[in-house]
Amino acid sequence: MHEELKIIVYPDPRLRRVSKPVEAFDQNLSALAQRMFELMREARGVGLAAAQVGHNIRLFIANPTGKPEDDRVYVNPELFEADGEETGEEGCLSLPNLNAQIVRAPAVRMRAQDLAGKVFEQSETGFLPRIWQHELDHLNGILIIDRMGPTARMESRKLLKELEDRFAAEAAGTAVGARATRAAGVGAKSAM
């Protein structure tokens, strides 16, 4: 079901949507999380939000070590008790080749649900809270470019323009392909 998933890239408008709470804790949710881990590993990431694969639901995964036993799934996450400020370098799988210094809280408490819907709480310091905050931003339609300082934003203009141009070209190609399909007599119903 989720095999066709891929990591979507800026400026795809789905990255700007606020994600809705998860209500169905079923096999589809588990399959989505599993496919997200595959995509995250292929891209050599440490976290991935469902919004980054085109599913605007409040779910993200994280693995700060890369070891399978450290895979974590967070459904309907809420952060609280954020303490302090720390600047650190972040990248984003939806903004390839862009790294920026981002200010985050180094100590955070999280309340979330697992894939069965069971509520849990977790307190962490260090790298994992940075991942949590980054992925939670995705669930709220916020990207690291929104948190970058003015100098970093100026320095990344060329890369962002390239991503915007590539997205526009792919969108135009998709529109041309859809028109050709309709012209060939293949209706929308057969595309479901």
Query: Any idea what the CATH number is for the domain that residue 166 is in?
Result: 3.90.45.10
Closest CA to 36 of 27, 47, 23: 47
What residues make up the domain containing 146? 13-183
Local confidence band at 81 (pLDDT 50, 70, 90 cut-offs): confident
Torsion 30-34-37-42 (CA) sign:
negative
Instruction: Name the catalytic one among 38, 86, 124, 135.
Output: 135
In a domain, 2, yes or no: no
Q: Which residues pair with 100 in a beta bridge?
A: 90
- Count CB-CB contacts under 10 A for residue 68: 9
Per-residue pLDDT tens over the stretch 6-42:
999 999 999 999 999 999 999 999 999 999 999 999 9
Helix (H, G, I), strand (E, B) or coil at 125: strand
In a domain, 135, yes or no: yes
> Per the structure, how many domains does the chain have?
1
Quickly count helices (H) and strands (E) in the chain. Answer: 5, 7
Q: What is the pLDDT of residue 181?
A: 40
Q: What is the mean pLDDT of the chain?
A: 89
In a domain, 188, yes or no: no
In a domain, 7, yes or no: no
In a domain, 4, yes or no: no
- CB under 8 Å to 63, separation ≥6 — which residues? 37, 40, 46, 47, 70, 71, 72
In a domain, 48, yes or no: yes
pLDDT of 186 > 80? The answer is: no
In a domain, 1, yes or no: no
Active site residue 38: no
In a domain, 6, yes or no: no
Q: What is the pLDDT of residue 3?
A: 55
